[in-house]
Structure 1
């Protein structure tokens, strides 16, 4: 999921040739703490995460160990150095031998974030390295600890459910579980439509697929007071662009996975995804916010989340996307948000595969 073997082969060749931006993106990754071969995993039986990870009992450790496992898997494929594959395996093994549950109010979101990243590492290791005696135990961890939490979705803000569906989709791919995959995709499609507004929706956005929001006034409140809607405006835009970016990222990640899996959702999502990227990057690039949008005041901070969607929509499908292009190229190499996004300039910048 997210990155295919042909995409990895493209990246490997570009890094070997010293081509940009991939060489700089690789150096960014391999110099990060996530690529350290001396990293010691910090698994817990119970990961307890309250609101905004307060309390934080294992929340950061879990997310960062998952990112490290994925980082090491990428490093293994690009370099051929088995030490990275073995470090990725050691991190996954440590957690699969230990974790049993997530608790407290942020448990579903934490499960979604970590559950989005673990399978990325696992897929690369399983299919390109192969020597992984505890692979079945890792699969059991995904099935018993992560999948039951995320597959049911959430009635909270849209970034929660989109991240949870990303995890459910990726886990289902790793487990070869078609029933769970189909269930997650169905919920994902409904939530993506309810997260980003386009004019074809009518005068108001679509209602969320679950929860108690079912009147216009409740919908306006759910959209943080916004009452007039523009193509690309997202449910959390007037909250802040950070959380909005989480949702946009998850939409792109799931779409990329569906393309790899053979039933491509990009054509269905292209208008929502390109407009949402363009809407938010326009203001990140310095355009003044009109009073009709969030009362003229937004909180920026979209983050390193544009490469996957931009590559798919601009390079593959041919949309101009000038605002997104400016933002994406200015931020290169895009690194990690230390939650569930990692090294997407390396894996997806101008990647035709």
Structure 2
């Protein structure tokens, strides 16, 4: 019975994703800048900063105090970035992630201050890498490509569409880098890895697609998201077991339970990595929300499709992050909190835009997370998305 259910479900997801590609390719028209942040969003932030309003004031002070915002930042590009498990070996992995975050930080600071030095620094970082990198290798290469590709696409999108000083040949070379070094990898996905991998790769894919005006890649990223989010966050309506990851091999009850860290009791909002640790789980949530936010800027309401999953997951994990002891049925009675600088974008959309009560998530943001900083593939989201309509 379980095997028939899983086979039917996998077939349905595959057919739905296939149908979506044609629909999205035909209908989507890109808005620029439109990767995670838009011009109206950042204009609101500029207004709030001019007023000295919180939480934007503290969030901006956090950005400017970071090393990522230093005008003395020097990029460290590599031709081959080699990243093993847990970035060991680490030949350029940290350097690439940090340079991509620095480029995005400078791009944001350019728009908020209109100081051309920050735009020029972002360009210098991007030009250094686009003139050097050729590949990512070793076991963590797909995830590394996603981490860095997500930040690169945000930085490039903002500079290209708000600044007049990026030479056309620099833009073209950067586009070629994204199209040849990053996009094929992140579109390939990683169905048998823990779910944060594929969601982060999808985050990079949709950002790169918008920057490149690539309708087909955008449609593929949306299709991947629609299939992957239900396989990452459980709802009781899914049935006795979570959905299997699409295109993967976790297609028996035994393999699926092992994939969910040996958890056997499934409740609304539980995630595939909850019993691993909240850090990786937070990355999965954040990447899923990044995709939805970019899609929203392009006229697609993915948020609505996953509202129950995401909001239930936010409140479920916020409860334990705030210190409620885990019951014995959950991860054997022990969870590893540490969601990191996440939740701001999801909270802003579902609570502030859609007026959905999320009391635990709001309390967690106010008590522990604000202002949210920078981490691997996300940065300064209290600044860009807090209370932002």
**Does TM, scored on the shorter chain, surpass 0.5?**
yes
Alignment counterpart, residue 136 of structure 1, candidates 172, 187, 192: 172
For 1:102, what is the secondary structure of its paired residue?
Answer: strand
2:181 aligned with 1:145: yes
Which of these residues, 44, 51, 60, is aligned with residue 26 of structure 1?
60
1:215 corresponds to which residue? 252
Question: SS state of the match for residue 130, structure 1?
Answer: coil
Q: TM-score, normalization: structure 2?
A: 0.89
Match of 1:55 among 82, 89, 92: 89
In structure 2, how many angstroms separate the alpha carbons of the residues matched to 1:271 and 1:347? 24
Question: Is it true that 1:39 corresponds to 2:73 in the alignment?
Answer: yes
Q: Structure 1 length normalisation: TM-score?
A: 0.98
| Alpha-carbon shift at residue 318 of structure 1 (Å) | 1.1
1:16 alignment partner, one of 41, 45, 50: 50
Question: Within 2, Cα distance between the matches of 1:251 and 1:286?
Answer: 25
Runs in 1 of length 4+ with deviation above 2 angstroms?
none
> How many aligned residue pairs are there?
351
Corresponding position of 1:334: 372
SS in 1 for 2:363: helix
Residue 272 of structure 2 is matched in structure 1 by 235
Which runs of 5 or more structure 2 residues have no equivalent in the other structure? Answer: 1-34
CA RMSD, aligned part only?
Answer: 0.7
Structure 1: state its 5+ residue gaps: none
Once the two structures are superposed, the pairs formed by residues 43-192 of structure 1 within 5 Å of their partners are: 43-133=77-167, 134-155=170-191, 156-192=193-229
Secondary structure at the aligned position of 2:100 is classed as helix
Distance in 1 (alpha carbons) for counterparts of 2:239 and 2:305: 17
CA distance in structure 1 between the partners assigned to 2:132 and 2:166 by the alignment: 17
Deviations 1:34-59 (A, max 9, x none): 00000110000000000000000000
- Are the counterparts in 2 of residues 49 and 106 from structure 1 also a CA contact under 8 Å? yes
The answer for the alignment partner of 1:257 in structure 2 is: 294
Confirm or deny: 8 A CA contact 1:274 1:321 kept in the other structure: yes
Q: Are the counterparts in 2 of residues 154 and 210 from structure 1 also a CA contact under 8 Å?
A: no
Contact 1:73-1:124 within 8 A present in 2 as well = yes
After superposing the two structures, state which structure 1 stretch, 81-90 or 211-220, moved more.
Answer: 211-220
How many Å apart are 1:188 and its aligned residue? 1.4
Give the superposition deviation at 1:4: 1.0
SS at match of 1:203: coil
